[in-house]
Amino acid sequence: MSSLLAFEDALQEIKRSATVRVAQQTIALPHALGSILSEDIIAHIAVPPHDNSAMDGYALAYADWQEGKHFTISQRIAAGHHPQPLIPGTCARIFTGANIPPGADTVIMQENGHLIDGKLVLDAPPIQGDNIRPAGQDMHVGQTVIAAGEKITPIHIGLLSSLGITHIKVFEPLRVGILTTGNELIPAGEDLAAGQIYNSNGPMLSALVAQAGYQVSHCLHVADTPESTEAALKTLLSSCDVILSSGGVSVGEEDHVKGVLEKLGSVHMWKIAIKPGKPLVHATLDGVPFLGLPGNPSSTLVTYHWFARLLLSVCAGQNAKHPQPYPVSAGFKRLKAIQRDEFLRVSIGKDGLAYAHAQQSSGALLAACESQGYLHIKANTQIEYGHAYDFYPFSGF
């Protein structure tokens, strides 16, 4: 057991060795949704560019007001108009979004005044500076508003548009190759013969990669032979920025992935102190990063979530964000402590406590479907009822 790499060390190793694998391109904003920004966006204009009114009402100079004063309305300023300087002692009729005229420093909401013989009389003393949105309130010139590595969201599209930006520099989509291994596996749609099961990791990994916004360039399947594994890897190497595989990474004679990796490239780490997912292997082939995930479907899911997701995000040029944990107390106890960090599939009960799914076998996937996230139990830790552990909702991955 001592030969296993600690969970945190394995994460650090992946982070340390991973590099951006994709080129930059310029893209028109309407096509940028979901792309990864490749350079910081710095505001070149202030937003809003001028002081403007937050309300429909009247602009005046605070110092001009005194009890009972009747303000002559000296100009009318609608949004989009260029105002004249305010004639001292008067006010300007103004509308929401219109520029404040030089000389005014306060806007009175129209509901807070009334007109007598066409002149404005305030119902209450004004508050200096009220209802003015100053230039640069949203963004000021020189401010970094979106950092490189962010994935462009609809909010970013709005923000960039408010700066008048039409094109941005982003990374080209990461091309991910997926390889599944196993003589027993057939694709859905065919009839099962004795000893066969359906390949679930191929479709699940493709969906996880697509959900993250990357491109699945190939999803290949091979029998458990070194020759077919090597041939498939060579195909993937020629067309992918990064490769993920499932199965064939344990110690049996039918497990060929690690042997082929050692022949074609260099293996950086193998076997991590986690449950499930122990035989994870990390390698580089011809400069292409490779992560071999264990074949048991829940091991595949857990190692994708914790390790492949991190590797792919760095390779794609994305800011690698650790999922956000929440402290949640266990609604159960377990005296046995294991020597691996464990990711229990759990649900949160109405009492706010975490309950482990009864089926924690790494071969079982329904348990993950029926759970809400992972409870992270660190290595050599007993589980105490009522004690808080890190809960990671699946939605955070």
Q: Which residues are at the interface with ligand MOO (CB under 6 A)? A: 275-278, 294, 296, 299, 362
Of 326, 347, 325, 328, nearest to 386 (Cα)? 328
- If you write DSSP's letter for every residue of 300-360 in order, what string do you get? HHHHIIIIIHHHHHHHTT---PPPPPEEEEBSS-B----SSEEEEEEEE-TTS-EEE-S--
**Per the structure block, which two tokens stand in for 387?**
């004690």
Instruction: Give dist(CA 23, CA 376) in Å, integer.
Output: 36
Pick the closer one to ligand MOO by CB: 275 or 345: 275
Among the residue ranges 62-70, 225-233, 293-301, 336-344, the one whose residues contact ligand LQZAQKY5 (CB under 6 A): 293-301
Among the residue ranges 75-83, 167-175, 208-216, 296-304, the one whose residues contact ligand LQZAQKY5 (CB under 6 A): 296-304
Residue 201, binding choice from ligand MOO, ligand LQZAQKY5, none, Cβ under 5 to 8 Å by partner class: ligand LQZAQKY5
Instruction: Give dist(CA 379, CA 356) in Å, integer.
Output: 17
> Angle at CA 172, nearest 5°, toward 180 and 287?
55
Tokens 């110690």 -> residue: 251
Give the Cβ contact number of residue 150 at 10 Å: 16
Assess 342 for contact with ligand LQZAQKY5 (CB under 6 A): no
Contact criterion met (CB below 8 Å) for 111 and 67: no
Pick the closer one to ligand MOO by CB: 106 or 303: 303
Binding mask 352-381 for ligand LQZAQKY5 (x = CB under 6 A): ----------xx------------------
Among 101, 177, 279, 317, binds ligand LQZAQKY5 (CB under 6 A): 279
329 CA to centre of own chain: 26
Among 199, 217, 229, 372, binds ligand LQZAQKY5 (CB under 6 A): 199
Pick the closer one to ligand MOO by CB: 126 or 276: 276
Contact criterion met (CB below 8 Å) for 46 and 87: no
Residue 126, binding choice from ligand MOO, ligand LQZAQKY5, none, Cβ under 5 to 8 Å by partner class: none
Q: What are phi and psi of 307, to 5 degrees?
A: -110, -50
Residue 295, binding choice from ligand LQZAQKY5, ligand MOO, none, Cβ under 5 to 8 Å by partner class: ligand LQZAQKY5
Count each helix (H run) and each strand (E run) in the chain, helices first.
8, 26
Q: Name the residue with the smallest CB distance to ligand LQZAQKY5.
A: 295
Pick the closer one to ligand LQZAQKY5 by CB: 94 or 176: 176
For residue 271, the minimal CB distance to ligand LQZAQKY5 (Å) is 8
DSSP label at 19? -
For residue 183, the minimal CB distance to ligand MOO (Å) is 19
Binding-site ranges for ligand LQZAQKY5 (CB under 6 A): 180-182, 184-185, 197, 199-202, 246-251, 255, 276, 278-279, 294-297, 299, 362-363
